Amino acid sequence: MSTVVVTLFAFYGATVPSAVARGRLQGLMSGTSVVEATAPGALRKSGDGPSFLQGLAKGAVGEKLELQLERADLTISPGEFVFARIALALILAVVPVFAIPSVMAYAVAVAGLVVGYNLPKIWLNRRRKSRIDKLNQQLPEALTIISNALKAGFGLLQALNNAADNLPHPLSTELSRTIHEMNVGSSAEEALVGLSERAGSYDLDIVVTAILVQRTVGGNLGEILDTVAGTMRERIRIRGEIQTLTAQQKLTGIVIGLLPVGVGVMFQVLSPGYVAPLFTTLIGQILLGAAAVLEVVGVMIIQRILNIEV
């Protein structure tokens, strides 16, 4: 376990500083106030890494995973992420075999293998969702800044640069990358479409679509962005109301999910012999495993019901 941890630290420790350094250099080359030193995802490009790590994620799967890592604001490569998933799965599968001297150890090892492999993916999705939520919160202010700049007579590129200078990460980083792409020769349409793909935000898709439609059919872009900003603020307000209304149900789901575990621990403390057959007999272990699977499925169903899209 110590060897695996040291190996992972060596890979990640070498990757992050180099990615940040490349981001700073690209920011200087772009001629814009692109990236702060504290923004690890700024104009990032993860390190190449060893060849065997690159072979873990190739083709379309690797490209899709790289996009997900970028949306999660991570500076590691797809191969390094897959390696971390495999290493964690092996650790959680091997430890129970030596720690639990019984037949149940193999069932726990299988569960640890599944959990260890999927845990980094769950963490990645939560981090990606958190970044998208933060980006959505910054959108109304960004649209107001861009609209005011356009009304003052600035062009679209100058307005985007003004918003990037006055907003924090992650939206400032994404706008700066868009400006950099325009400066090196990409058309505004291509740069905006790339911004939408990198961000993965539905709200930002609406903004990009509005700008592209205006550039095609004409119109007052400042007024259009003001209207879109009002729509964004209304969506944020509705999301807040939904979170308030579903807070009690979410807490109820957590309590129901933890109730069987708490009851089992209570019986184990008050009367150890009462629940001993669940751990010592084959049928008890099978029932215990089935209960754990049904528990996880129930929690996932509750979360799915409470996940309301706006």
> Cβ contacts of residue 241 below 8 Å, gap of 6+?
none
Integer Cα distance of 154 and 144 in angstroms: 14
Shared-domain flag, residues 124 and 150: no
Amino acid making up residue 186: S
CATH (domain of 215): 1.20.81
Prediction pTM value: 0.69
Residue 105: the pLDDT is 75
Shared-domain flag, residues 264 and 165: no
What does the chain come to in residues?
Answer: 310
Integer Cα distance of 75 and 176 in angstroms: 17
Burial class (CB in 10 A: 0-12, 13-18, 19+), 211: buried
45: tokens are 């490009």
Is residue 36 in a domain? yes
DSSP-based helix, strand, coil % in the chain, nearest 5: 80, 0, 20
* Domain finish residue from 133, 156, 182: 133
Residue 272: the pLDDT is 77
Cβ–Cβ under 8 Å, residues 232 and 136 = yes
Residue 18: the pLDDT is 43
Residue 235: the pLDDT is 86
Residue 46: the pLDDT is 43
Integer Cα distance of 280 and 278 in angstroms: 6
Judged by DSSP in three states, 36 sits in coil
Shared-domain flag, residues 102 and 153: no
60: tokens are 């379309």
- Within the chain, which residues score under 50 in pLDDT? 13-47
For residues 133, 136, 141 and 143, what is the CA-based torsion angle, rounded to 10 degrees? 170
Cβ–Cβ under 8 Å, residues 10 and 151 = no
- If one counts the domains in the chain, the total is 3
Shared-domain flag, residues 124 and 11: yes
Is residue 168 reached through a cis peptide bond, with omega within 30 degrees of 0 on the bond before it? Answer: no
- List, for residues 234-254, the tens digit of each pLDDT value: 888 888 888 888 888 888 888
Residue in this structure with the two tokens 């006055």, named with its chain if needed: 166
Shared-domain flag, residues 261 and 224: no
Residue 52: the pLDDT is 54
Integer Cα distance of 157 and 151 in angstroms: 14
Is residue 288 in a domain? yes
Q: Domain range for residue 294?
A: 251-306
